[in-house]
């Protein structure tokens, strides 16, 4: 083979635009790619489908998973996926695998690599650390094998580096693992780069407008955020308002009930998909707060920063640790009292935060990120730059 051919193992390709944006950026670099996406729901077939410029590239949606046994019988699931890939992909034409998660995709990459001697890189995401590695203890020895055989390990969140390296189950491979790790953040939709603010936000001192965008799930921690805003509104007559964009999730009824009970401090907009309308919401607020308990990266933080808004986020999750400048406040426990304290800091120290918008634009530009992936692929596969 004279060119590098990548097989992406992306079980969540249909569920997140992040993968679509990466594949698009790599396609514009001329890379040959096969994207394999197994799905549980037939309705996800062709979701996030794109027309690839490289005629040798393609996306394979495969409705082979179910919603019952495949959620709990991990070994059988990855063997099922492996057999399906063998039927649908000419593996002799593949010279690097990119597993987009450590366990769900990395397990398949490990089996393919052992059988066909194809090198692979694997990413580590929120679910890998906070579900598989933390809760499914019996899988840890296999997880160690996945990382040990990988030729590259990609971390989307900078804060995950120490978390990964401190895992007890990985201590015997720690030195080798350190050499493999590369931190590559997610990019944002080009719209947010093109419409970035020219300078950081200047606060209206008559009010304090806080913005939340996300699903109403326990993980996003919005109910605690609402309670924190309610408590803060009672102190010193602070004119604070929480602007809420989103919907769905098990906390939806509670969130909406709070909106109805306190209409003076909670403003609910529903779900907004129009980017121009979202841009207005960012520009009309002072800070962005999403004290999410588990977050691989959280593109919405970057979207907020690009509009010059300081952000509230969870320590050791998402965007934490990626910027040395003080871009906002991190919560550790994430209860209402701590969130209130951090909101108070955001209110009182608003002018002290350093948001370098040109640097943020550069760090989260998909075309520049694609070049980092190409370099990672080159190093991990043994191919020279000229073969990419």
Say if residue 251 is in the same domain as residue 351.
Answer: yes
Q: Provide the residue-wise pLDDT of the chain in tens; the chain has 388 residues.
A: 457 999 999 999 998 889 999 999 999 999 999 999 999 999 999 999 999 999 999 999 999 998 888 878 999 999 999 999 999 999 999 999 999 999 999 999 999 999 999 999 999 998 899 889 999 999 999 999 999 999 999 998 888 899 999 999 999 999 999 999 999 999 999 999 999 998 877 776 778 999 999 999 998 999 999 999 999 998 866 789 999 999 999 999 999 999 999 999 999 999 999 999 999 999 999 999 999 877 656 789 999 999 999 999 988 777 887 887 899 999 998 899 999 999 999 999 998 999 999 999 999 999 999 999 999 999 998 765 444 5
The number of folded domains in the chain is 2
Residue 177 shares a structural domain with residue 225:
no
| 321 in the same domain as 371 | no
In DSSP notation, 154-204 reads EESSTTHHHHHHT-GGGGGGHHHHHHHEEE-PPPB-HHHHHT--SS-----
Within this chain, do residues 195 and 174 fall inside the same structural domain, yes or no? no
Structure tokens at 51: 């027309």
Could you tell me if 143 and 246 lie in one domain? no
Q: What is the pLDDT at residue 1?
A: 45
Asked if 220 contacts 249 with a C-beta cutoff of 8 angstroms, the reply is yes
Any idea what the CATH number is for the domain that residue 229 is in? Answer: 3.40.50.2000
The per-residue b/e assignment along 295-317, b for 16 or more CB within 10 angstroms, e otherwise, is bbbbbbbbbbbbbbbbbbbbeeb
Q: Are residues 36 and 147 in the same domain?
A: yes
Pick from 259, 273, 275: nearest CA to 225: 259
Structural domain containing residue 106: 5-187+365-387
Structure tokens at 361: 């634009």
In this structure, are 325 and 273 located in the same domain?
yes
Three-class SS of residue 59? strand
Q: Which residues pair with 245 in a beta bridge?
A: 213
How high is the pLDDT of residue 126? Answer: 86
Residue 34 near residue 8, CB atoms below 8 Å: yes
Alpha-carbon span 339 to 347, nearest angstrom: 12
The whole-number pLDDT of residue 235 equals: 80
The pLDDT, as a whole number, for residue 384 is 54
CA atoms within 13 A on the CB side of 97: 33
The reply to whether 159 and 52 lie within a common domain is: yes
What pLDDT sits at residue 272? Answer: 96
Q: What is the pLDDT of residue 296?
A: 57
Is there a single domain that holds both residue 115 and residue 23?
Answer: yes
Question: Do 347 and 200 belong to one domain?
Answer: yes
DSSP state of 351: G
φ, ψ dihedrals at 98, nearest 5°? -115, 105
Neighbouring C-beta atoms of residue 191, cutoff 10 Å: 13
Q: What is the pTM of this model?
A: 0.86
Give one DSSP letter per residue of 97-142, joined into a string: EEESSTTTTHHHHHHHHHHH---EEEEE-HHIIIIIIHH-GGGHHH
Q: Are 161 and 290 within one domain? A: no
Q: Assess whether 181 and 209 both reside in one domain.
A: no
């Amino acid at each position: 083979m004279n060119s590098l051919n990548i097989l992406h193992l992306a079980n969540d390709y249909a569920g997140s635009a992040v993968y679509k944006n990466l594949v698009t950026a790599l396609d514009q670099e001329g890379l040959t790619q096969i994207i394999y996406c197994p799905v549980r729901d037939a309705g996800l077939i062709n979701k996030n489908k794109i027309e690839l410029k490289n005629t040798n590239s393609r996306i394979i949606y495969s409705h082979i998973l179910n919603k019952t046994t495949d959620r709990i019988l991990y070994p059988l699931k990855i063997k099922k996926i492996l057999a399906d890939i063998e039927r649908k992909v000419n593996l002799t034409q593949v010279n690097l695998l990119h597993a987009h998660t450590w366990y769900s995709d990395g397990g398949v990459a490990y089996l393919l690599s052992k059988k066909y001697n194809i090198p692979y890189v694997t990413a580590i995401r929120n679910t890998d650390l906070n579900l598989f590695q933390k809760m499914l203890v019996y899988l840890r020895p296999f997880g160690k094998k996945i990382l040990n055989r990988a030729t590259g390990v990609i971390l989307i969140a900078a804060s995950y580096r120490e978390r990964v390296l401190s895992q007890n189950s990985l201590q015997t491979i720690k030195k080798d693992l350190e050499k493999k790790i590369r931190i590559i953040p997610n990019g944002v939709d080009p719209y947010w780069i093109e419409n970035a603010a020219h300078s950081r936000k200047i606060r209206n001192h008559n009010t304090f407008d806080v913005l939340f965008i996300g699903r109403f799930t326990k993980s996003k921690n919005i109910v605690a955020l609402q309670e924190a805003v309610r408590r803060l509104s009672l102190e010193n007559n602070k004119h604070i308002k929480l602007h809420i964009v989103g919907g769905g999730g098990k906390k939806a009824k509670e969130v909406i009930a709070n909106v109805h009970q306190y209409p003076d401090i909670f403003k609910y907009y529903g779900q907004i998909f129009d980017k121009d309308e979202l841009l207005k919401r960012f520009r009309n607020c002072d800070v962005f707060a999403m004290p999410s308990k588990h977050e691989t990266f959280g593109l919405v933080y970057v979207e907020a920063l690009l509009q010059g808004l300081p952000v509230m986020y969870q320590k050791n999750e998402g965007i934490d640790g990626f910027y040395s400048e003080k871009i906002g406040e991190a919560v550790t426990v994430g209860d209402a009292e701590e969130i209130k304290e951090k909101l108070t800091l955001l209110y009182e120290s608003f002018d002290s935060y350093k948001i370098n918008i040109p640097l943020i634009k550069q760090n989260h530009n998909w075309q520049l990120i694609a070049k980092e992936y190409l370099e990672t692929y080159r190093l991990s596969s043994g191919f020279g730059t000229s073969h990419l």
